[in-house]
Amino acid sequence: MTKLTRGVCSELMTGMEEELAALFNKHGVTGEVKSAKMDRNGRYATFSVQVSVLQANGVASTPERSAYLQNARLYGVEADWLGREFTINQDRVVLTGLNPKAKKYPFVLPIVDDPRGRFYKLSTEQLRRLVASS
């Protein structure tokens, strides 16, 4: 191989997650390979791995989850909405947290069982309407 491509990095990310799963289980944590950044010439790539402690109920302590629990009142939403499942455009989604750096759409709702890891981002008003309609 003379050059890394997006496809190769994607395959490497999938392989890393599979290989790391046993190590994460051994230590009682969970994690995922979040991203890969390549140089423009394809000579090297840097991968980002996020590891989270599992709480007693089996839920991972992610930065988004912690930010939601700490800031829910500031955004005018209820803390107990976290983890609720909703339907958006025929997709089942779960409210998993808050990205406080995102000004317009801070709420993160991944699509359940989506192989590509797609997710929705909602504003405070959109989240309130979604909760009210469910």
Predicted confidence (pLDDT) at residue 92 exceeds the cutoff of 90: yes
Same domain, 40 and 67: no
Query: What pLDDT shows up at residue 2?
Result: 86
Query: What pLDDT shows up at residue 117?
Result: 81
Which domain covers residue 19, as residue numbers? 6-53
Same domain, 76 and 124: yes
Query: What pLDDT shows up at residue 61?
Result: 87
Q: What is the mean pLDDT of residues 55-65?
A: 86
Tokens of 129: 């309407």
- What's the chain's average pLDDT? 92
Report yes or no on 49 lying in a domain. Answer: yes
4 Rama sector, left if φ>0, alpha if ψ -120 to 50, beta otherwise: beta
Report yes or no on 99 lying in a domain. Answer: yes
Same domain, 93 and 42: no
Cβ-proximal residues to 53 (8 Å cutoff; 6+ apart), any chain: 28, 29, 60, 61
Report yes or no on 29 lying in a domain. Answer: yes
Number of domains comprising the chain:
2
Local confidence band at 108 (pLDDT 50, 70, 90 cut-offs): very high
